[in-house]
Amino acid sequence: MPAKTDQQAALKIAAGRKPFVEPLRLGERLKEIRLANHWTLEDVSQRTGLARSTLSKIENNQISPTFTAVQKLINGLGIDLPQLLTPPRVQPRTMGRRDLTRQGEGQHHPTPTYEHELLSCELAQKRMIPFKTIVRARHFDEFSEWVRHDGEEFLMVLQGEIQLYTEFYEPLQLAQGDSIYFDSDMGHALVSVSEEDAVVLSVCTRGDAA
């Protein structure tokens, strides 16, 4: 009970501050807590009732949380105010992880335009998602809409040649050995322009875990 009383008193004091706990860099503390618990922004949004976009802005210090928002964070995440204002203890992490994928032994996910092979599927809590793709599409109009997803993407052509279409740039042709890095929430699509279907290696970041 005393702990709850202390929390209420701290909240009353904090309520009069504007912007709220700005000097304490609360956004960085919130992100540390989220990552320490392996929560995505969507997880925190569902727990607290705060919009994912609002949480992202708080974490990136683009806005200062209101008193009401702080109350929702405390209640939804099951923490008290001191926990929110103090960086969580760094959890020990295993630094020797590895996940071998033999040729052809990834998880295959065929689509009308691509044939994906997800790599390193046994490793949990990855910050990157690697996969190899056979590009079956031959024309841009085979796509009903842009491909887009959170995060960033590195792509390298392993075999053949592709035409890379992106939402904000002119089409770009890439040959074997060429590579490109781009924001993957920008609409994009690949088509093969070589005689054989092209093969590319892609590595995507998890945008909601960054």
Treating both helix axes as pointing N-terminal to C-terminal, what angle do 41-48 and 26-36 enclose, rounded to 10 degrees?
Answer: 100
Give whichever of 55-64, 125-134, 179-188 has the largest mean pLDDT.
Answer: 179-188
Residue 210 confidence (pLDDT) above 50: no
Question: Quick check: pTM over 0.75?
Answer: no
Do β-strands 188-192 and 128-135 pair in parallel, antiparallel, or remain unpaired? unpaired
Count how many Cα atoms sit within 13 Å of the Cα of residue 12 in the half-sphere of its side chain.
Answer: 6
Least confident of 23-32, 55-64, 149-158, 166-175: 23-32
Residue 112 confidence (pLDDT) above 70: yes
CA dist., res. 176 & res. 160, Å (int): 6
Closest CA to 128 of 36, 182, 203: 203
